[in-house]
Structure 1
Amino acid sequence: MSENILIQKADPNDEKVLTILEELSSNLYLRFGSDGKNSFQDWQNDNLNFVFVTAVINNEIAGCGAIRPIDENIGEVKRMYSKFPGRKIGKTILAFLENKAKEIGYKELVLETRVKNQEAVLFYQKQNYNVIPNYGKYIDRPEAICLGKSLI
């Protein structure tokens, strides 16, 4: 039986959403010593090029993800998280974000994760993301690995 995963736009500052973001941050901190919050400080709810979504299963927020602009052609995937691994939540969120990115006009999506986060690296590679040179603040950071995918 396939679960019904509802993807919906949300405000990352909404009280209901903060719980899943805190869970993500705690998970990252326990696993890698950094909660990732610093990379999500400049969110702009009123900018249509910023998209934050939640995945809802049976009225429970089960995951989240976001895209934001790097420039007019490139979006960055941020705060991807699935509360229940192996249930296609991440895949469903990412597919939604990729479609939104195309609507916005992004020609490419990029992201960063930790080299140690092999589950994430393998997940993105299965979704046709390829390792790219580290960009932006991740240049010269050996603990970071960056991936990208063409949307055209």
Structure 2
Amino acid sequence: MYRIAPADPAHPQAMAMQAALSATLAAMTGDSGQASFDAGDVRGDGAVFLLACDGYGAAQGCGALRPLQPGVAELKRMYAAPGSQGLGAQVLAALEQHAQRLGYRAVWLSTRRINTRAVQFYLRHGYREIPPYGHYVGRSASICLGKELTC
């Protein structure tokens, strides 16, 4: 059983999860993804950073939402530690619930096409490919995905 709760992205355990994600992405894609994340974007109104901890209080995953445009939140820094069966789905569900409570109608994200595990994970959870947005326009290595939230 995991406890998933809001946390500051600068909390030491949150930083450890982000570092683990960055190392994983860098090994897989050659890019840590850190340049696309600003901790300030997931603090304040319309945003949340979630930290998932196991029964012993050890961080095992994280994820964040930031406002993107009216009615749309962007998913950022989603990570579940290896061996944390089902945690990714739990963090994603918690983020989607937060998005609904914050009044968003949809959640969008971008990941690298080469990250097939992540792409398949999101497709299994109801996300579909959408046109590139923001700085992902014209970047063929990226795939943008989105999901409409139901009330």
TM-score range, shorter chain: over 0.9
**Corresponding position of 1:123:** 121
Listed one character per residue, the Cα deviations across residues 23-65 of structure 1 (whole Å, up to 9, x for unaligned) are 1111111110111111112524651211000111121100000
User: Aligned in 2, Cα 1:77/1:46: closer, same or farther, shift over 3 Å?
Assistant: closer
RMSD, matched Cα: 1.3
**Corresponding position of 2:110:** 112
| CA positional deviation for 1:114 | 0.3
TM-score, normalisation: structure 2: 0.94
Percent of aligned positions with the same letter in both sequences? Answer: 36
TM-score, normalisation: structure 1: 0.93
| CA positional deviation for 1:79 | 0.3
Unpaired segments ≥5 residues, structure 1: none
Does structure 1 retain, via aligned residues, the 8 Å contact 2:8–2:43? no
Does structure 2 retain, via aligned residues, the 8 Å contact 1:43–1:50? no
Moved over 6 A (4+): none
Alignment of 1:39-58 (within 5 A): 39-41=36-38, 43-44=40-41, 46-58=43-55
SS of the residue corresponding to residue 70 of structure 1 reads strand
Unpaired segments ≥5 residues, structure 2: none
Does structure 2 retain, via aligned residues, the 8 Å contact 1:77–1:111? yes
Cα distance in structure 2, aligned partners of 1:16 and 1:82: 13
| CA positional deviation for 1:5 | 1.3
Aligned-partner residue type, residue 43 of structure 1:
G
**Which is further off, 105-114 or 7-16?**
7-16
**Corresponding position of 2:13:** 16
